[in-house]
Structure formats: structure tokens, C-alpha cells
Amino acid sequence: MKENYRRVHSQNMRVYLAVFALLAAVHCKELFNGGQVLRIHAESEDHIQILKELQRDVDSGLDFWTHAVSTERPVDIRVPHARLYALKNFLKENNIPFTVMINNVQELLEREREEMLGNAEMERKTKSLNFAAYHDLETIYNFMDTLVADHSNLISKVNIGSTYENRPMYVLKFSTGGEKKPAIWIDAGIHAREWISHATAVWLADRIATDFKENRAPVPSILSQMDIYLMIVANPDGYVFTHRSLSEFYRFWRKSRSATSNPKCHGVDLNRNWDAEFSGPGASDDPCAEDYRGPSAQSEIEVKNIANFIMDHGNFKSFMSLHAYMQLLMYPYGYVGTDAPDRTELHDVATQANKALNSWHGTVYKVGSIFHTIEQASGASVDWAYLRGIKYAFAFELRDTGEYGFLLPADQIVSTARETWYALRYIMQYVCDHPY
């Protein structure tokens, strides 16, 4: 049964492709009125020779969609109306069987064209998000709702708590069911000004959904064994602040928006506020500093919400965080320079993931621990996850390496997202294959 479906499906595909090619070539409607596509079933070498001769005759007006090669494969020919009678006679005289595949090419073209226009219209209505652009929080939150609605069998939206300014914090849960399956965590936007991370996460959400829907490996098999949690905006207050005006003071905001002990300075660096060697070197205790760690570990509600969610779940096997910029793929530790116990394995995984990333566009990333590749950092989320037993913990610094920095042109979003996906996909497959 399946076999038949596949054959018919590929037959339809070929017809569709051929019709599409026709559509591209069509300038004058009348050319195709009354024309037919015949499927020839050659039964002998003689038949093949006859068809080959016919194909060689450039004045025949016949459009061979497939070539005469062997008796195993049918030969499809688009025949203009004017030649139909003559060709059918010719085939009959030579005892070459044929069937009429497409009765009226023009009709088919019109139907296909209408369908394509209809699809575009539908896409415009539902999938109206332009992935090659940066969007504000409201648009991203709307996108999440649309995605959930379009893939309700796979995706749900989880509210894990509110921000300092009382905005909801949402995580998209990709799950094929089951009770607390081992899970993968991916977050973006913990630093507000790193817009490419949110934009990448938006694209990733759609890509995972689409790959699942279209049964594209390895997503369905990963999701059969694990759940994926994707947090597109880990710092909503900060992100909204970066949109408040074009002024650089807003656009380059990094931290949260909480009040601090200094009335002139707001916000905590959410990636220095985790309970992982909190208050060690590699963070500041000055509320006005960009890497201000906050008054205490998890003092920031945003960090507390994520940490609690992950601990309550209790079955996360991987934790990955997207940042920008510098083109780095890193693993723990950030707080100290000594090797993490799993350093060798993590370095290997990161190295392979990096190769996958590079294969898309040739973008060069460097691999190493956070401490050694970027700088010492205490209270970092990736360290926290690793110290809590989530072995496969990685941090990405996405494009670029300083040319545009935080202001990466929007025309690089999709390419950045795709190469990041290649790396993430590798890591997720690896995590799936190495349960612990």
C-alpha cells in the first residue's frame, strides 16, 4: 500500500515539477490549449529506437518531459494540439502503447497557478512573519501564538512566571507526549541588545516545527525520545527597553530593568546572577556596571523563574544559551580555568557541531571553555546548569566578530539562524544518542 503511494506521489511530483517548468516558460496562453501529455510505454528496443528518433527531430514540436532510455521507464511527451492526431496515429501504427496523462495542459496550468496564488495568500495570512527582520516583543509573542495554533499537536506555550516589570515569560514546549521526557533547553535574548539571538530563536522555532511536520530527519526521531524547550526571549523587560527609541542608550541595553541600590542605575546582568560561584571574579558589584551581578544569587526574578522551572522539571539533559557576538561555541566553566570533568567530551561535541555550523556558509567559530575563550565569568547560566548535573551545557556567541557587532544587518539573520541550527541539530542528536 505504502509502495503504491510513494510511486504515485513521486509521479505527481514529477508532473508538478514539469508543470511548474511550463508555467515558468509560458508567455502565451493559447499555446497550451487542447494540448495533452502522453505517457508512452515502450515494450521493445525497437520502440525505444523509434522514440529516440522522434526526440532527435527538433521540428517535431514535441516536448519530451522524460527521455526514451529503456523499456523499464515510461516516456512522457507534451504534445501540442496541432500534432496530437498525427502522433497518436504514428504510435498506433507502431503498436506503441500510450495513455493520456494530462488531458488539457492549459486547464492544468490554470489550476496550478490558482493553487499557488492561494497558497501565497494563505501564507500571507497565517505565516506573515518575516524571518529576515528584527521584531519587537509583541510581534514575537504573537508569532508564538500563531506557531502553537498551527502546530497544536506538537507545540504548547508555557508561562514560567513574570518579569520585574510584570511581563509574562514564555517557553515553547515541543513535545510528542509522555510524562517529563528527557529534555533539551535552549534560550535566547538573556542579554537584551543581542538581537540576532532572538531572531535566530524565532527562525529555529519555525524550523523545528516544519521539520517535524514534514518528517525531516533527525527532528522526528529526536522528538520521539526527548522534549525541546525553547525560550525565545529570556529577558523581555530588557528587550522592550532596547526598542524604546533609536537612541543608543536604549538600543545597547544589556541587563534586566530592575531597580538597584543606586537610583541612577538600573538592571542586573542576568548571566551573572545564577547560583554558580556567584560573587566570584568575573562579575561586578557596581549597579552601574554592565556585568553587575545583582545583590544575591537569583535575586532577579527572571533568573529565578528559569532556574525553578528547570529544577522542578528535573529531567533536562542539555542546556544551551544563545548570545552575540564573537562567533564562539563554548562549554563550562566560565568561573574558573580548570577543566570541567567532561571537558574532553564536551570539546569533541562542540568541535563536531562547529564543523556542521561551518558547512552552511563557511562561517568560522572558535571552540573552547567560556573562561578561556571569552573571559572569566561567575554566576553564568551555563555553569549553573552543568553544576546541577546537566552535562551537555553550551553557550553560543553568534555573528559577527565585531564588524557590525550588536547591529548585525537583518539580511544576515536567516543565514546565521541556519548555521546555528546545523550546530544545534548535531548537539541534540548527540544528546539523544547518549542518554545518561
Partner 1 sequence: MANTTGDLEPTHYPARRAATVALHYLNTRHGSPHMVFGLQQVHKASAEDVAAGGRNYSLDFSVTASPGGSPGPALRCSADVLFPRTEQHTPPDVQLRCEALQEINSTAEDEAFYQKYIAPDSAVSAQDLPDSYGNMSEEMQPFWRLGRVAASFIMLRESSENTELNMVQVANVTQQESSEKQLMLDYVVLLHDLPSQEITQWKLLASWSPDRGVRVLHTEWQPRCPHATKPPN
Task: Decide: is 261 part of the binding site for partner 1 (CB under 8 A).
Answer: no
From 168-176, 238-246, 383-391, 423-431, give the range in contact with partner 1 by CB under 8 A.
238-246
Tell me: does residue 402 bind partner 1 (CB under 8 A).
Answer: yes
Size of the site for partner 1 (CB under 8 A): 41
Closest to partner 1 by CB, 216 or 372: 372
**Backbone torsions φ then ψ of 251, nearest 5 degrees:** -60, -35
Measured in residues, the chain has a length of 436
Q: Which of 300, 302, 397, 419 is catalytic?
A: 397
Q: Does 360 bind partner 1 (CB under 8 A)?
A: no
Tell me the sheet residues that pair with 39: 76, 99
CB of 262 or CB of 296, closer to partner 1: 262
Q: Does 251 bind partner 1 (CB under 8 A)?
A: yes
* Residue 249 touching partner 1 (CB under 8 A): yes
141 forms part of the interface with partner 1 (CB under 8 A): no
Instruction: Name which of 271 and 420 has its Cβ closer to partner 1.
Output: 271
Q: At 14, which helix (H) or strand (E)?
A: helix 2-25
In this chain, which stretch among 174-182, 219-227, 305-313, 398-406 interacts with partner 1, using CB under 8 A?
A: 398-406
Cis peptide before 85 (omega within 30 of 0): no
Nearer to partner 1, 153 or 351 (CB): 351
Q: Which stretch binds partner 1 (CB under 8 A): 116-124, 178-186, 215-223, 359-367?
A: 359-367
Query: Which grid coordinates are listed for 287?
Result: 549597579
Q: What distance separates the 2 farthest-apart alpha carbons in the chain?
A: 97
Do residues 33 and 116 make contact, with C-beta atoms less than 8 angstroms apart?
no
Q: Which is nearer to partner 1, 313 or 372 (CB)?
A: 372
Strands of the sheet with 98-102, listed across from one edge: 63-64, 75-79, 36-40, 98-102
Task: Based on the shown chain and the rule CB under 8 A, indicate whether residue 69 belongs to the binding site for partner 1.
Answer: no
Residue identified by cell 508555467 is 23
**Least CB distance to partner 1 at residue 408 (A):** 5
> Candidates 115-123, 141-149, 220-228, 246-254 — which segment interacts with partner 1 by CB under 8 A?
246-254
Considering beta carbons, is residue 48 or 188 the nearer one to partner 1? 188
Return the residue of 16, 85, 90, 404 that touches partner 1, per CB under 8 A.
404
Nearest Cα neighbor of 379 from 286, 258, 268 is: 268
Least Å distance between CB 100 and partner 1? Answer: 53
Measured distance CA(413)–CA(197) in Å, rounded: 9
Shortest CB 342 distance to partner 1, Å: 19
Decide whether 184 or 330 has the Cβ nearer to partner 1: 330
Task: Kindly list the strands in the beta sheet with 227-231, ordered across the sheet, starting from the edge strand earlier in the chain.
Answer: 155-162, 168-174, 227-231, 183-188, 316-324, 392-398, 328-331, 366-369
Q: How far apart are CA 137 and CA 117, in angstroms?
A: 31
Q: Which of 155, 202, 219, 367 binds partner 1 (CB under 8 A)?
A: 367
CA-wise closest residue to 349 among 325, 373, 368, 371? 368
* Binding region for partner 1 (CB under 8 A) out of 139-147, 152-160, 200-208, 405-413: 405-413
User: Which one of residues 18, 23, 31, 289 is an interface residue with partner 1 (CB under 8 A)?
Assistant: 289
Q: Is 131 among the residues that bind partner 1 (CB under 8 A)?
A: no
Taking CB under 8 A as the criterion, the residue among 52, 88, 127, 366 binding partner 1 is 366
- Report DSSP state, residue 163: -
C-alpha cell at 154: 506538537
Q: Which residue from 224, 234, 276 is spatially nearest to 255, judged by alpha carbons?
A: 234
Angstrom distance (rounded) from CA 235 to CA 365: 25
DSSP string over 91-120: HHHTT--EEEEES-HHHHHHHHHHHHHHHH
- Active-site residue, 397 included: yes
- Alpha-helix residue ranges (DSSP H) falling in 26-129: 45-56, 81-93, 105-126
The helix (run of H) or strand (run of E) holding residue 137 is helix 137-150
Residue that is written with C-alpha cell 495570512 in the block: 125
List 235, 376, 378, 416, residue binding partner 1 (CB under 8 A): 376
Q: Which of 242, 260, 298, 420 is in the footprint of partner 1 by CB under 8 A?
A: 242
- Residue partners of 210: CB distance under 8 A and separation at least 6: 216
Mark 313-352 with x for binding to partner 1 (rule: CB under 8 A) and - for no binding. -------------x----------x---------------
Active-site residue set: 397
Contact residues for partner 1, defined by CB under 8 A: 133-134, 242-243, 246, 248-249, 251-252, 254, 264-265, 269, 284, 288-291, 326, 337, 364, 366-368, 371-376, 401-410, 412
